[in-house]
């Protein structure tokens, strides 16, 4: 049975290996080294610590990747020769590894994998063989020294059935190790703890309901603080411009906090509540330009696919111009996030939220308040849906999109830990609706930008014909994308207009009490 031994402290494996080698000779076994790596070490995960959440660690030692778990240590073999350059999307990493493990394939492509800690390390692989040169057991040894952290030593022993001498020897060796390093426990939790406080590791907001019957004022405060801290934890990722997901999650948490302040009217004094909401609105507005440019650049591969070969150079020029604009927008936002004014306003806002005074509805039970507010929000959605038709302008669809998002947040926030299935289905249904509306909004952003670029190109006295042709083709494509997405949304709208479906959605709110 494979076992992992872990120790933290000074020293290395040399004395332990000497003991094992002497005992092996007495049993007619040979201990030989089959692999050795030494050099710079990098600890790898993404901002969500998805690898650590699985009880594993991924390290780059010299030119190899090593996987460590509670039960094993093993190298991940590459298909190509160039070194891994992080940050790197999980999908691309898997493509460059021969037979990637299931846990690596299962990583969600939210944030790129990146280096969260550096140091130096040494990896050894040793093999026990008998007189017939058959492998009886394998030992994997790993020394880790990360900056500012004491050395850590890992030893993994793999034995094979049928080789009793080897199995008994490695079992006694493990007992010897425990005698040399008493009180040490096996596991990779010590490694995980090394980078939990890294500035690129984000915090996820705990938005669960309090136990008992909390009032709406105290419950809303309990939600606002973790949402804002979760938003702020993405700032370093935005500043370093490692991954667009940091900006996305910053906006998501800010939007949820704004929605809470908007939806929970009467929970706090109106002027205090409005002051906090205005501050969040200003911060969100500062991110709009960079977010729109990210939307355009994410579709650059699509640009190449849409345009015929003779216009690919126009797509390259457009990408180059967008990247220049994005660099300016990213630097502007980075400067704002690092400014003294922003940091001061953050502290003031957190103090303001902690000191919010109860409004006329602040003492109402949170679940009762949430149910009434959700019913009101659903009825608002039904009214907006009934007013829409095939020729409705985009602004009216966007109003419905915002209303749906707020209903979704209400359903998610006010769910009890043991909520019934119907309320979960309601939250999931609203989530799917908002995601489809999000695709429609992205198509609108692309269309609006292309209209502006095309108008600017035509305003030139002698506009390049290829540029006009490329922009026209791209505009037609996104107009078609928008039409198709709008058709998909119309299917949702027909369902939302169905009285039976409306009754089912309203009935789900009964589970809030």
Q: Same domain, yes or no, for 206 and 57?
A: no
- Whole-angstrom CA distances from 25 to 124, 131, 165, 180, 203 are 20, 11, 11, 21, 53
Contact present, 254 and 284 (Cβ < 8 Å): yes
The 57-61 sheet, strands edge to edge: 3-8, 152-159, 135-146, 114-129, 30-45, 57-61, 64-68, 73-76
CATH of the domain at 126: 2.40.320
Q: What is the DSSP-derived secondary structure letter of residue 107? A: -
Contact present, 495 and 474 (Cβ < 8 Å): no
CB atoms within 10 A of CB 55: 15
Residue-number span of the structural domain to which 41 is assigned = 3-194
> What integer pLDDT is reported at residue 10 of this predicted model?
47
Write out pLDDT tens, residues 186-205. 446 666 666 667 888 888 88
Q: Which two tokens stand for residue 513?
A: 């009490």
pLDDT band with cut points at 50, 70 and 90 for residue 432: confident
Q: Which residue has the tokens 């199995």?
A: 167
Number of domains composing the chain? 3
Q: Same domain, yes or no, for 339 and 225?
A: yes
Q: Which of 149, 174, 194 is the last residue of a domain?
A: 194
As a whole number of angstroms, the distance between CA 329 and CA 295 comes to: 13
The residues, any chain, with a CB within 8 Å of residue 35's CB and separated by 6 or more, are: 75, 123, 124, 125
Q: Which of 194, 229, 250 is the last residue of a domain?
A: 194
Write out pLDDT tens, residues 153-196. 777 888 887 888 888 888 888 788 777 766 544 446 666 666 66
Q: Which helix (H) or strand (E) holds 415?
A: none
Q: Which two tokens stand for residue 140?
A: 């994997």
| Reduced 3-state DSSP string for 273-341 | HHHHHHHHHHHHHHCHHHHHHHHHHHCHHHHHHHCCHHHHHHHHHHHHHHHHHHHHHHHHHHHHHHCHH
Q: Same domain, yes or no, for 161 and 48?
A: yes
Give the burial class of 248: count Cβ atoms within 10 A of its Cβ; 0-12 exposed, 13-18 middle, 19 or more buried: middle
Q: Which of 178-192, 223-237, 434-448 has the highest mean pLDDT?
A: 223-237
pLDDT band with cut points at 50, 70 and 90 for residue 279: very high
Q: Which of 323-337, 371-385, 494-508 has the lowest mean pLDDT?
A: 494-508
Q: Same domain, yes or no, for 397 and 425?
A: yes
CATH of the domain at 459: 1.40.20.10
> What integer pLDDT is reported at residue 185 of this predicted model?
42
pLDDT at 246 over 80: yes
As a whole number of angstroms, the distance between CA 106 and CA 50 comes to: 9
Mean pLDDT, the chain, rounded, equals 86
Q: Same domain, yes or no, for 355 and 503?
A: no
Q: Same domain, yes or no, for 121 and 34?
A: yes
Q: Tell me the three state secondary structure of residue 388.
A: coil
Write out pLDDT tens, residues 95-125. 999 999 999 999 988 889 999 888 888 899 9
Contact present, 50 and 112 (Cβ < 8 Å): no
Phi-psi region of 177 (alpha: psi -120 to 50; beta: other; left: phi over 0): alpha
Q: Same domain, yes or no, for 412 and 442?
A: yes
Q: Same domain, yes or no, for 206 and 179?
A: no
The sign of the dihedral angle between the CA atoms of 296, 300, 301, 305 is positive
> What integer pLDDT is reported at residue 381 of this predicted model?
92
Give the burial class of 306: count Cβ atoms within 10 A of its Cβ; 0-12 exposed, 13-18 middle, 19 or more buried: middle
Phi, psi of 196 (to 5 degrees): -60, -30
> What integer pLDDT is reported at residue 12 of this predicted model?
60
Q: Same domain, yes or no, for 287 and 183?
A: no
As a whole number of angstroms, the distance between CA 497 and CA 494 comes to: 5
Contact present, 29 and 163 (Cβ < 8 Å): no
**Exposure of 69 in the CB half-sphere (CA atoms within 13 A):** 13
As a whole number of angstroms, the distance between CA 301 and CA 421 comes to: 40
Task: Write the DSSP string, 186-230.
Answer: -SSHHHHHHSTT-TTSPPPP--PPPSS--BHHHHHHHHHHHHHHH
Residues facing residue 97 across a β-bridge: 78
Q: Which two tokens stand for residue 339?
A: 């400014």
As a whole number of angstroms, the distance between CA 388 and CA 394 comes to: 10
Q: Same domain, yes or no, for 371 and 353?
A: no
Q: Same domain, yes or no, for 212 and 128?
A: no
Q: Same domain, yes or no, for 279 and 393?
A: no
As a whole number of angstroms, the distance between CA 273 and CA 359 comes to: 9
The residues, any chain, with a CB within 8 Å of residue 506's CB and separated by 6 or more, are: 375, 378
> What integer pLDDT is reported at residue 419 of this predicted model?
52
Q: Which of 134, 167, 194 is the last residue of a domain?
A: 194
Strand 30-45, strand 73-76: pairing: unpaired
Contact present, 406 and 263 (Cβ < 8 Å): yes
As a whole number of angstroms, the distance between CA 273 and CA 264 comes to: 9
Residues facing residue 42 across a β-bridge: 60, 118
pLDDT at 480 over 50: yes
pLDDT at 429 over 70: yes
């Amino acid at each position: 049975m494979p076992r992992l031994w872990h120790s933290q402290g000074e020293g290395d494996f040399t004395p332990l290996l000497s003991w094992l080698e002497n005992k092996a000779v007495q049993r007619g076994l040979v201990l030989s080294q089959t692999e050795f790596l030494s050099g710079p070490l990098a600890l790898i995960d993404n901002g969500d610590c998805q690898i650590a959440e699985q009880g594993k660690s991924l390290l780059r030692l010299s030119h190899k990747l090593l996987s460590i778990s509670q039960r094993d240590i093993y190298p991940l073999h590459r298909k190509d020769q160039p070194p891994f350059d992080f940050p790197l999307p999980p999908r691309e990493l898997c493509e460059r590894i021969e037979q990637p493990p299931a846990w690596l394939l299962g990583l969600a492509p939210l944030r790129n994998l990146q280096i969260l800690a550096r140091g130096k390390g040494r990896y050894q692989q040793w093999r026990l063989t008998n007189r017939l040169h058959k492998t009886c057991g394998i030992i994997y040894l790993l020394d880790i020294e990360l900056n500012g952290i004491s050395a850590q030593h890992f030893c993994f022993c793999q034995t094979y059935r049928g080789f009793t001498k080897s199995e008994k020897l490695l079992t006694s060796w493990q007992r010897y190790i425990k005698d040399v390093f008493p009180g040490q426990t096996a596991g990779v939790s010590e490694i995980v703890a090394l980078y939990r406080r890294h500035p690129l590791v984000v915090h996820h907001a705990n938005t669960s309901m309090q136990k008992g019957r909390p009032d709406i004022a105290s419950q809303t405060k309990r939600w606002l603080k973790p949402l804002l801290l979760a938003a702020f934890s993405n700032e370093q990722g935005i500043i370093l411009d490692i991954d667009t997901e940091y900006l996305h999650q910053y906006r998501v948490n800010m939007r949820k906090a704004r929605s809470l302040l908007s939806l929970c009217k009467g929970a706090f004094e109106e002027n205090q509540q409005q002051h906090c909401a205005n501050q969040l609105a200003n911060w969100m507005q500062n991110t709009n330009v960079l977010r729109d440019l990210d939307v355009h650049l994410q579709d650059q591969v699509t640009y190449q696919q849409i345009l015929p070969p003779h216009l690919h150079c126009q797509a390259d020029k457009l990408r180059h111009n967008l990247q220049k604009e994005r660099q300016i927008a990213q630097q502007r936002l980075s400067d704002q996030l690092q400014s003294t004014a922003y940091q001061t306003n953050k502290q003031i806002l957190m103090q303001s939220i902690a000191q919010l005074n109860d409004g006329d509805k602040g003492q109402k039970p949170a679940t009762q308040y949430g149910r009434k507010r959700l019913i009101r929000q659903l009825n608002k959605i039904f009214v907006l849906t009934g007013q829409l038709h095939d020729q409705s302008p985009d602004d009216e669809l966007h109003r419905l999109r915002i209303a749906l998002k707020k209903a979704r947040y209400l359903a998610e926030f006010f769910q009890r830990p043991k909520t019934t299935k119907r309320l979960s289905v309601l939250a999931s249904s609203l989530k799917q609706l908002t995601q489809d509306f999000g695709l429609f909004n992205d198509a609108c952003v692309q269309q609006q930008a292309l209209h502006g670029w095309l108008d600017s190109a035509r305003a030139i006295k002698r506009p390049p014909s290829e540029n006009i042709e490329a922009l026209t083709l791209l505009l037609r494509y996104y107009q078609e994308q928008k039409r198709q997405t709008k058709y998909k949304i119309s299917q949702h709208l027909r369902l939302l207009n169905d009285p039976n479906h409306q009754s089912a959605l309203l009935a789900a709110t009964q589970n809030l009490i």
